[in-house]
Structure 1
C-alpha cells in the first residue's frame, strides 16, 4: 500500500514539473514577443531610414522589405493581443503609409505622395494631382478572371479626376494568387503545380504579359501594371523571419536584395515623372 502511494506521489511530482516547464516556456515566449515589439517601436522612434539604394535590384528590395516589415510588426501585434489572425485593415493602412514614404524618397523634389482612405497613394507635383498607385500584396481574393472586373472598378473610383493613363498597380507576389486553370489557358499547356510554374522564368514572363495585355482599363498596362516577385511573399517572409534570431533574419534580407524580380519598380517611377513633366497631364 505504501509503495503504491509513493508511486502516485512521484507521478504527481513529475506532472507538476512538466506543468512548470510548459508554463515557464510560455512566459519566456511572451517576454520575447514583447522585447521584439519594443525593439521595433524603438527603431521607428529613432526615425530609422532604409538603407540607401544604388541600383534597380535594391530599389525593388527596399519596397518589398518595407512591406515585409509591416507584416513582421503586425505579427508581433497579433501575438501580443492574442489574436488568431493579423489585422487586414491595420496592415493595409501601414503598407500605404510605407508606400507613401517610399515614393516621397524616390520621386524627387516637387513631388508629394500621400495615402488616402480609398486605399490608394496619390502623387502630386507642385500641388497638382498626377497619379494614383495601388499596392496589392497578392491576388488571392481577386485571382483569375476576377482581376479584370476588380481593376475596372478600382480605376473607375480613383479620385481627383485622374485618367486611366495616370493609374498604377503594383502586385507584390504571384504566390497565393494563381488560378492554375487560367495559367494553363494563357500558356496553352498543362501546368503541374503553381510552384513548378513559378520556377519557370519564361512561363512567368509569358503569363504576366498576357495579364497585362488584358487589363484594358489601363492606357498602357505593360507600364502601369507591374509584378514584383514570383514565389517570394512578404507575409510569408515576415512569418519566417519572426521565428529566426536576428543574424538569420539579416541573411533573409540579403536574399531579398539578390532576388530575381519579374519587373523593376524604376519603370513605374519613370512613368510618374513623365506625367509630372507634362503640363497638360489631365488631357
Structure 2
C-alpha cells in the first residue's frame, strides 16, 4: 500500500504541474492577443493602417460554402469544369487550415484531393470506355483496362517545384518510376497542369522565346507569347514519346489556389461572378483532346 500511496502522490503532483502549465499558456496567449490589439491601435493612431485594413485581414467568409454541383461539364467547357473542381479543393483546404490553426495548407492533403478530383472527372467523362482509374500513394493515377495497368496520369496545380530545366528532370523521374514499378512505357504517361502561374522561371522563358521578358505577369497575359512558349516547353520534354499529346497546360495567369483564397472574401454574388469568369476563360489546351487520347487506350 505504501508504494501505491507514493505513486498516487506523484500523480497528484503531475496533475498540478499540468494545470499550472496550462494556465501559464492561457495567460501567455491572452498577452499575445492583447499585445496584438495594442499594436493595431497604435498603428491606427499613427494613420499607418485603416480600420478597413484590419477588418479585411480578419474577414474570412467560412459561413458561405460553394455549391457542390459546380457544373456537369458540357463537351464545350470541360476545362472550366475541372478547373472549378480544383478551385474547390483549395477552397475547402483553406477551411481545414484555419480549423487546424496551421500556417500553410497541407500539400499532402491537397495532392490527395486533387487525385480524387481527377479520378471523379475521368469516370464522369469516360464511364463507357471500360477504363478504370485509381489514385496511388505515389500521387499517380493509374489507368487500368481488363485488370492491367496501361497508363498513368499526374495532375499538378503549377510548376512551382519543377521550374525551367527542372521540369525535364522531374518528368524523367516519373517515366522511370512508371516503367520500374508499373511496367509502363513513356507513351502512356500524361500530365495535366492547371496553371503556369507560380511556376515560371523568367530566364528560362526568355531563353525559349529568344527575347527579353520584363515580368512574368506581363508575359502570362500575352497569349501569343504564352502559346509560343507552351509549344516549345512541351516539345522539349523529349523523354515522352509524343509530348504534345501527353502534356496539357490549362491556364496562364489564372490559378486555382489564388481564386480559392479570394472566394473566402467574397459574398455569394461575387462568388458566382468569379466562376462565370472561369467559364469564359480562354484556355491554353483543350482537355477534350486529353480525353480522346485516353479513349484510344481502351
Mark yes or no: TM-score above 0.5: yes
Distance 1:88 1:180 in 2: 25
Equivalent pairs counted in the alignment come to 243
Q: Which residue pairs with 2:44 in the alignment?
A: none
Shift in Å, 1:180:
0.8
Query: Aligned-pair distance for 1:131?
Result: 1.4
2:109 pairs with one of 67, 76, 90: 90
| 1:198-237 aligned within 5 A | 198-237=220-259
Equivalent in the alignment of 2:94: 75
**1:205: how far off?**
1.0
SS at match of 1:217: coil
CA RMSD, 1 decimal: 2.1
User: Compared with structure 1, are the counterparts of its residues 271 and 81 closer, same or farther at alpha carbon in structure 2 (3 Å cutoff)?
Assistant: same
Report the equivalent of 1:144. Answer: 164
SS class of match (2:297): helix
For the pair 1:154 / 2:174, whether they are aligned, the reply is yes
Q: TM-score, normalised by structure 1?
A: 0.81
CA contact (8 A) 2:70 2:84 kept: no
**Residue in structure 2 matching 1:124, options 144, 160, 180:** 144
State the partner residue of 1:271: 293
2:143 and 2:149 in contact (8 A); partners too: yes
- Is 2:279 the counterpart of 1:257? yes
Contact residue 121 and residue 132 of structure 1 kept, 8 A: yes
- Is the contact made by 1:130 and 1:272 (CA closer than 8 Å) also made in structure 2? no
Query: How many angstroms does 1:52 deviate by?
Result: 2.2
- Larger CA deviation: 175-184 vs 117-126: 117-126
Larger gyration radius, structure 1 or structure 2: 2
Quote the Cα distance in structure 2 between the aligned partners of 1:55 and 1:267.
11
Following the alignment from structure 2 to structure 1, what is the Cα–Cα distance between the partners of residues 218 and 131? 41
Gaps of 5+ in 2: 1-37, 42-54
Could you state the TM-score of these two structures normalised by the residue count of structure 2?
0.77
